[in-house]
Amino acid sequence: MLRSWRRSFLKAVLVSAVNLLLARHLAYAQDLEPRAYSAAPVGLNFLAAGFSDSTGDVSLDPSLPITGLKANIDSYTLGYERTFGVLGRSASFGIVVPELHGDLSGQVLGAGDRVSRTGIGDVRMRLAVNLFGGPALTPVEFADRRRSTALGTSVIVIMPTGQYNPEHLINVGSNRWAIKPEIGLSQPLGKFFVEAYTGVWLYSNNNDYFNGHKRSQNAIYTLQLHGGYNFRPNLWLAADVTYYTGGRTAIDGAFGEDQQSALRYGLTLSVPLVSTMSAKLAWSSSLHEGSGGNYQTFGVTLQYFWRGGRIAKIN
């Protein structure tokens, strides 16, 4: 009976790990995002469909008899974005709805075990405004512009809209709000560009965590660096690096030993398909993961854009 109870407890740890990985994947899926503050003409609509796959090893408390943990997380996203002007500056608003599937397997007390979860995740919204170097321009004006330094700011909000059941440790939804204010700088250098963003994730409490407990989380501080080359309009390649730290969690006020500290790097390639559609291919991996594990992520996004009721050509 003791062995059965212990195995049930360890399986709960596996389930909790899947929940954590899904939440982290949703929150950080776009934290290697070059050109997030690049200028665009106003009045454009963007429709994007994406898929990403993350695989890797998972790190848990080494005192637990759980070994060989491997995770696979698939994310399917559908998003819409609109560009517009605010007080003469270019701005944009976007919304993304994800569907997530997480699968984690490993050895529990020497026997194989597996946990999985699928469902609609929390909706993510982003409002961005250029503060300097990004005037609101029509597509014709934009085509004749001279590229210059751009400074922008944004706010990302993740709403607690995903599937959530407080009787389960495993959930796709997080049952809390997450807000990330950020500031970003983009500097063109001929056909090259360099970018730097810094922000902070702030979280509300989950007051209905697993049968009525309260789960809180400290802020997570982020930094992104990007450098790339524009071959021609919509065809560019970027090298990406991101670092984040913080995020220690507490259950009913008791903090765990789960401080996060991670350094990731990757590549992003944007390829025009036709005049109104492009594809973005992305790969990233862990250079250092202080908590959670070592992951590689591959993703592809198809993007279609138009202006008002007419097709927009940006070349």
What residues contact 310, with CB distance under 8 A and at least 6 apart? none
User: Which pairing describes strands 277-289 and 192-203: parallel, antiparallel, or unpaired?
Assistant: unpaired
User: Are the C-beta atoms of 263 and 243 separated by less than 8 Å?
Assistant: yes
Label residue 102 by pLDDT band (50, 70, 90): confident
Residues 50 and 77: beta-carbon distance below 8 Å: yes
pLDDT recorded at residue 233? 84
Name the amino acid, one letter, at 303.
Q
Angstrom distance (rounded) from CA 250 to CA 3 = 28
Beta pairing partners, 55: 72, 296
Map residue 167 onto helix, strand or coil. coil
Question: Residue for token digits 């250092």?
Answer: 288
- 51-64 in b/e burial notation, b at 16+ Cβ within 10 A? ebebebebebeeee
Residue 116 tokens read as: 């999985």
pLDDT, greater one: 260 or 306: 306
C-alpha 148/C-alpha 137 separation (Å) is 14
pLDDT at residue 117 in the model: 77
For the chain, which domains are there?
2-307 (2.40.128.130)
- Which of 85, 75, 162, 82 lies closest to 123 in space, CA to CA? 162
**What type of residue sits at position 194?**
V
Is residue 58 scored above 80 in pLDDT? Answer: no
Question: Which residues are within 8 A (CB) of 225 and not within 5 positions of it... i.e. 6 or more apart?
Answer: 194, 195, 196, 240, 241, 242
Q: Tell me which residue of 259, 264, 255 sits closest to 220, measured CA to CA.
A: 259
Write out pLDDT tens, residues 217-267. 999 999 999 999 999 988 999 999 999 899 888 889 988 777 888 899 999
Rounded to an integer, what distance in angstroms lies between the CA atom of residue 17 and that of residue 21?
6
Q: What is the pLDDT of residues 163-176, one digit of tens each?
A: 888 887 667 888 99
Question: What pLDDT is stored for residue 105 in this prediction?
Answer: 75
Of the listed ranges 149-158, 217-226, 296-305, 306-315, the one predicted with least confidence: 306-315
Strand order in the sheet with 254-255: 206-209, 213-217, 249-251, 254-255
